[in-house]
Amino acid sequence: MSLIGKNIVIGVCGSIAAYKIATLVRLLTKEGAKVKVLMTHEATHFITPLTLSTLSNNPVFVDYFDEKTGEWNNHVHIGLEADILLFAPLTANTLGKLANGLCDNLLTAVYLSAKCPVFYAPAMDLDMWKHPSTIRNISSLNSYGNIMIPPGEGELASGLIGEGRLAEPAEILSHLTSFFENGDALKGKTALVTAGPTHEAIDPVRFIGNHSSGKMGYAIAQRLKELGATVTLISGPTALEHPQGVDTIAVTSAQEMFEKTEACFEQSDIIVMSAAVADYTPQTVADQKIKKKEDTFSIDMKKTIDILATLGKRKRDNQVLIGFALETNNELENAKAKLVKKNLDFIVLNSMQDIGAGFAKDTNKITIITQNGKEQVFALKSKMEVAKDICQIIVEHLAKS
């Protein structure tokens, strides 16, 4: 059983959904986990510390110290000793604190001290869940490498129907069990991921680029790390935080991305090429800013090196090479042709026709196509969830080879 002996710290926030944590604690302890519960003051109005202490067989901590005894609850030790830190239910208030590094209670202090994987299960009303600030905070938490257990849909405390319900305890248990079961699935493997756009200089202040945010590649790199791989991420210009525990190399141009990728290719077992690399670059780069003089202006362009095709020719049988195809028409035909031409094991197809997919979004909708022509279509999901799907395909492929 994957949870036996695991130290799981649960942070309970002030939501009506806190009552579900009694069942979750019971499920975790029955699986052999060692559970420690932390609560905000607001959470104690919904479920008592005594209930959770009884079920977990451990004291429940609310404050930094006990006012009666003066005993200090060491947030650093709590964070460092945890194998998993789980926020459930995570309210909009604490979500905002975690996303912005605010630290005004024991729970947020433990979060900032923790070195372990962090899961969070949001719970809030529909309008709060859909608010732009919540969406931004979720994006920030995910970019830090935290793992969301998505809320369910149904009747909410307000009477509204929709997203925002805390995931059921059995579902949360399944997420944690799956994490530990697959935690070493790629142990000993070396992975190389490319992400983001490239910028091709025109002059000292201008460049040719695209709208890639790098979110998909960063999510894949983080998930490969979670699965035990040693990961190198080669990233074009993005505004994203580097994934925790991933060796990140910043590049700007297509040529720089090729040089860094080529240098890491031979020692890599898994290569995921998700970067949106420019197909063309200016023939010459002006030394000074080009002044606006003429009504029309043209730039002589030359092809950039095809990084994916170059690596495909060098790929060994024991390497897994995955490419991406972002298409606007004839999607499947173009993706399948690219798969064969570039000697890929898989290709991940994104269609610009799919609402919610494409550049700069937090969601994606993909189809994965294998060398034998098998197509696997996935629903629209967060990019963190899409990364899990892609990495699961990698794990299954390696297990068969």
Residues with a catalytic annotation lie at 210
Strands 118-122 and 147-148: parallel
Q: Are 172 and 150 in contact (CB under 8 A)?
A: no
Distance CA 123, CA 224 (A): 28
Strands 190-195 and 230-235: parallel
Amino acid present at 325: A
Q: Are 350 and 366 in contact (CB under 8 A)?
A: yes
Neighbouring C-beta atoms of residue 303, cutoff 10 Å: 10
String of b and e for 243-279 (b: at least 16 CB within 10 Å)? Answer: beebebbebbbbbbbbebbeebbeebbbbbbbbbbbe
String of b and e for 177-194 (b: at least 16 CB within 10 Å)? Answer: bebbebeebbeebbbbbb
CA end-to-end span of the chain, whole Å? 26
Q: Are 251 and 260 in contact (CB under 8 A)?
A: yes
Amino acid present at 73: N
Q: Are 307 and 254 in contact (CB under 8 A)?
A: yes
Distance CA 366, CA 343 (A): 20
